[in-house]
Structures are given as C-alpha cells and as structure tokens.
Structure 1
C-alpha cells in the first residue's frame, strides 16, 4: 500500500525480496490502520513530507528544494502474520522462539508479506488458537500504556483521558486497572458508549464547561493528570485547564501545524501545570532503569491474552487490502462510526 499524493492511495505489486542470512519472511494476515498518525500521511500534513528527521541531532531538517516526500511506502505499524520462511542462520544463534509456522505481531507495514531480521521478532509470538487480530493491538496498546505510566496513574488518582479512539479507549481501560478514577472525554456517542464499557467512571463531552464539570467531580481540586490522546490542540488546551495545582498533562497525540489555541498565560501558568510528551520510542524517564519498550509490549500482550481489554469489540470495519483507498476515504470523510479499521490480506 502506497500514498502517492495527498488523499491518493494505491496498492502496487513489487518484486519479492530474497531472504538474507538471519532474516524471516512473514505472510501478513491482518494489518491495523492508525486513524491518527497514518491520516497525517494520507492528508499531507505529516512533517516527514517537508522535513527529514536526523536521528543523531534529533531534529527535523527542512528538505532541500520544494519536492514533497511522496510517494510514502511502508506505512502501518500494527501487523500480524505467520512466519513462512527462514533464511540461513548467522554465526550467532537465532532466537529460539522464532520458527516457521509461528504467529507473530510486529511492524512491517500494509503489505502482503514482510521481510525482517529474525531478532526483531524475539518475544513477538502469539500462542496457537488466538484470534490473530489481537496482534494488531499490541503496538497501539503499548502507546496507551506508556501514556498511563507517564500520568502516574494509581489508586486515589483522578485521571482524565481526552479522546476515546482506539488508543484512548485502551488508555482508559489501563488507567481503570491501576485503580484510578477515570474521566473519559469524548464527543462521539459510539466512543462515549465504548468508554463506559472500558470502565470509565465518568464520561463527559468536550466544551467550555468541561473544566468546571471536572472540578465538580473532584471536590474543586481538578484532575491529578490528564492524557491528551486526540492529537487536537483544542484538546491539549482543555487538558491544561482540567488538571489541578501542579497537575500533569501527558501529550500523547500526534499534533499537526501550529497550536494557535494554546493559552499558556492562564491556568497553565498559575497552576504550574507540567506538560510531558509521551512517544513510543521510549518509556517515561523515571522508569527507564526498570522499564523499556519491550516490557511495555510484553505487558500488553499478557493483558490482551486475558481479555484486557476486549479489543476485538473495537474492530468496526474490515477491508481487503485492494480496497485500502476506500478505508482511508471513509476515515477521512466520516469516521465517527469507526474505531479500529483492519486491512485483511489475500
């Protein structure tokens, strides 16, 4: 699957890649569309289209010239499939838990097969008999859990989760499991209903009265933490107003363009609000001696296998790969009835 221009999706045939020593071939079964990050590539707002990320300097640098970054290939980060071929072994042994026939989750994009280093799939196996689509929720679940950890969610805390898409719903469930009182904020009725099923103690709609309603629910104190997962600057501004004194706002959305609605001279300033970024490349700094991204992912897999949460109930749409353009157009045009969209492979 390839983005060839803004709002233009194509499915193209490419030559099969030969395996190198230490690599495996995975036949894709299903792939989940991210209705947040991927839509920025679909709509043409993603910073990678105009800039290049320099991993050494950790800066986005402007592309030379005026050419856009299209075509974009390899998008998708919620894949599940079966290992169908293994290359020759390297001098070092391959992981014992990677073998032909294994069901594995990982990141190789919306394509019918992926070629990966076997070491990348260490610990990525799923047990026989499970619905493979569970694997499409591991990475998004790790994003959600990372945000909950950054919010210090625990017994006695009040946590607001702004945005109840798939990641927001999973964050709501994980926060509930920590023992916190969870306030879900969402305007779309379907997502409000799902937030209640995830155990949210209160479900509120966004709007000017949201900070007052949160104060009413917390005895005037405001929330201890807020997780903003909608990717909206309006939501981020609301988060700075609903937390109390020295409250923490976890900015977990993928924000685009300029944040003109942010007002940092009012509640943010007077309540000494802390805004921290949550991004799946690493865990919160205070946890790095004991947690890392693989531990996040293992934790999510363990929870999913126990039905926490029931992610299969979040799958609202399934499309064959050749109808990928229709899937993105649906999300772009009127995605209010969509939660997780799955691309199924032939």
Structure 2
C-alpha cells in the first residue's frame, strides 16, 4: 500500500472518534477497483461500518485480508452497480424511477457533488491527453474524478 493510502485510513481513524475503541468512518465509497484501495477502505471504517464498492477487480483482490478489519470489526461490504436495484426494492424502483431520483439529486445537490467529488474538469479535446497521462502515471496527483466539458460542437461532428 502506498503512503497516501496508509495516511488516508489513519486520518479517518483520527478525525472521526465516536467513543473508546470506536473510531473511523461510518461509510466509505470505494471506486478505484484496486485491491489495495479496498483494503484501505476497510481499515478506514469504524466497527460495523460499510464499504460501498463500485470497483471491478479483474485481477482479484489478494491484498484484502478479511480476517483483520473485516471480521474483527463486523464490517459490511456492499457491491454497487449502475443500473441494478437491490432485489428487495426492485419492484418499487424501476430504472426510470432510479434515473428520475438521480436527476433530482443532481439538480438539488449538483454544486456539492462538483465541489467535493469532481477534482478536474477538462475540455473534451483534452480527454485523450488526460487518459494518456493517467495511464503513464505522469500526473503528480491523479484526479479523484475528472469530467469532460463540452463547450459546443465537437470537432468533426455533423
């Protein structure tokens, strides 16, 4: 695990103290799909906390040690997938209702999402360069979330 990951879970444990032996985050959203990020997310939780995992682990997750934080602290790991509603509420949440609520949330709290979750906004034409820099690890700090901005007509579009 890199120093940044090591410091992230320590910071959560130090910053959020709920009582003796009860330190850490209630919920962690894990979006990277790297086993070390999932291990860090589990370490950042308070007892009985929940990781909502949006990652896909194509190479498995050998760095995740479920006997440590997971079992000892009674943690939960929930897989979140775009477009899939949990079985127990699927009848009440068809895809159209889920999309409508998502749009309502973005209308109401979009500025908060932008301020707290989106670290970089780049022009559409800059997108390939950003991806190349990410793949080559040329950025001093990778974006938490990058969004492509469309200023008008896309070059070459009809």
Alignment partner, residue 316 of structure 1? 122
Unmatched tracts of structure 2, length 5 or more: none
Alignment partner, residue 13 of structure 2? 215
Per-residue CA distance 1:65-117 (angstroms, 9 max, x = gap):
xxxxxxxxxxxxxxxxxxxxxxxxxxxxxxxxxxxxxxxxxxxxxxxxxxxxx
Larger Cα-atom Rg: 1
Q: 1:233–1:259: 8 Å Cα contact kept in structure 2?
A: yes
Of structures 1 and 2, the one with the larger relative CO (CA 8 A, separation 6+) is: 1
1:224 has 2:22 as partner: no
Alignment partner, residue 295 of structure 1? 97
Q: Which runs of 4+ in 1 moved over 6 A?
A: none
**What is the CA–CA distance in structure 1 between the aligned matches of 2:13 and 2:4, rounded to whole Å?**
14
Greater per-residue helix proportion: 2
Unmatched tracts of structure 1, length 5 or more: 1-186, 188-204
Alignment root-mean-square deviation, CA: 3.2
For this pair of structures, how many residues does the alignment match?
A: 139
Distance 1:213 1:292, change over 3 A: same
Greater per-residue strand proportion: 1
**What is the CA–CA distance in structure 1 between the aligned matches of 2:133 and 2:49, rounded to whole Å?**
37
How high is the TM-score relative to the length of structure 1? Answer: 0.34
**What is the CA–CA distance in structure 1 between the aligned matches of 2:69 and 2:106, rounded to whole Å?**
38
Alignment partner, residue 257 of structure 1? 59
Distance 1:327 1:208, change over 3 A: closer
Per-residue CA distance 1:303-324 (angstroms, 9 max, x = gap):
334562375x85313229xxx7
**What is the CA–CA distance in structure 2 between the aligned matches of 1:317 and 1:251, rounded to whole Å?**
29
Per-residue CA distance 1:177-217 (angstroms, 9 max, x = gap):
xxxxxxxxxx9xxxxxxxxxxxxxxxxx8432433332222
How high is the TM-score relative to the length of structure 2? Answer: 0.68
